[in-house]
Amino acid sequence: MSSYIEGKKKRTKDSCYVRGFWGDIINSPYMAIGIYVENEEDWIKFNKEYNMQRPYSAQHVSEYTVNGFIHKLETLQNYEYGFDYIKQIEAWKNKRDKEENPKTEEVKEEDERPDDIIPTFGDTPEDKTDEEKPRVLMEGFKKLNVSIKLLTNPISDLYKLPKYHQMFDHVVISLKSDAVVTPEFNVLLKPQAKIYCETADNLVIFKPEQRELYWEKLKEKAESNNWNTVESSFPTYMHFKFNS
């Protein structure tokens, strides 16, 4: 994860070792959304083994999680994963068992479809591509009364635009965006707005004392912004409330 590679010093060109964190290249987003699912029945299927091997990896769990989020927002219904790999393996096993233990039986015309053909998404005529589907607001956003604002300019540009003043009820600030935690930022917040700031707890390259120092510095900046610290249920985020 965190390791050294051979490199050159910029000024003298002398050989040296450069320290780097390569977890983002190796793991991508899988550490965040690819190692667990809440649905116990689906979790058992993801961990099912055949010949001491699992057909599903963290990539499939990540796809399941992201599609589940989107499906829930679109329909307010739980997402049902196809588990096509398991279906194909089970169909192959059934076919093999039948070949090893043949039985004489009558086959009807409607039952002549081979067992090893597994339906996949997109093989039905009613399926449409994203371009053909009409654009509508997701049901989840309707229920929560959420509006989406596409912001392409730097945050500092919004301070001068009155239409953005006191617009936001909730704000999530990532680790790399903590520079926006300034008194000027308050003009965008509604009274009693909630702010969630990501901590450095998951940075492997940070030492424990450096993570604690980041917490302290972030609290100091929040207090200078007139943000009150609130107990958070999210261990990797600090929760504040704008004391307007």
Non-local CB neighbours of 172 within 8 Å, separated by 6+ positions: 195, 196, 198, 237
Residue 53 tokens read as 């091997």
Q: What is the pLDDT along the chain (244 residues), one digit of tens a residue?
A: 456 677 888 888 888 887 766 555 555 666 778 888 888 999 999 999 888 888 888 889 989 999 999 899 888 898 999 899 899 988 888 888 887 776 656 655 554 444 444 444 334 445 555 566 677 778 888 888 877 777 788 888 999 999 999 999 989 888 888 888 899 999 999 999 999 998 888 777 888 899 899 989 999 999 999 999 998 777 788 899 998 7
CATH number corresponding to 149-242: 3.40.50.150
Give CA–CA dist 21/30, Å, rounded: 16
Residue type, 67: N
Is 238:229 a contact under the CB 8 Å cutoff? yes
Give CA–CA dist 227/161, Å, rounded: 22
In the chain, CATH 3.40.50.150 sits at: 149-242
Q: Residue 170 forms beta bridges with which residues?
A: 194
C-alpha 112 chain-centroid distance: 42
